Amino acid sequence: MNVPAVEPPDEMATVLRVFDPREVRPPCVFILESMKLSRPISWFLLAFGVWSWAIWFTFVKNLWKDSSGLAFDDAGDPTAYFWVHLLLAITSFLLGTGIGVIGFRGLRALRHEDAAEKQPH
């Protein structure tokens, strides 16, 4: 099926548009381009990403130095507790990074929008 790439007339058409494999960007990119985060929400998401890195970095550092016997057995080998919590920390790093990037991109878009509004027409 050969469907020409046509810009949709409204937002709903963006969602319902048929994807042409020859396009560089899939239709979901249009949805993301139409989203607009407020400044407080963007700051919250960015702060959450930074907080996530600070908290989980400290957690992994403490997990690595654990001498209580939970993270490492008597032979010094990692236990299931260690692996589960390391996986939890890695997942949190990835989610925190993604959320922080969304917040950063929201702030950057608002900054560009503010700069465009200040320029004379």
* pTM beyond cutoff 0.85: no
User: Which pLDDT belongs to residue 45?
Assistant: 95
Phi-psi bin for 76: left (phi > 0), alpha (psi -120 to 50), beta? Answer: left
Nearest to 18 by CA among 93, 26, 79: 26
User: Which pLDDT belongs to residue 13?
Assistant: 53
User: Per residue in 66-77, pLDDT tens?
Assistant: 888 899 998 989
Token pair of 28 as six digits: 């979901």
What average pLDDT does range 96-104 have in this prediction?
94
User: Per residue in 20-41, pLDDT tens?
Assistant: 556 566 555 555 566 788 899 9
Beta bridge partners of 72: 78
Per-chain mean pLDDT for the chain: 81
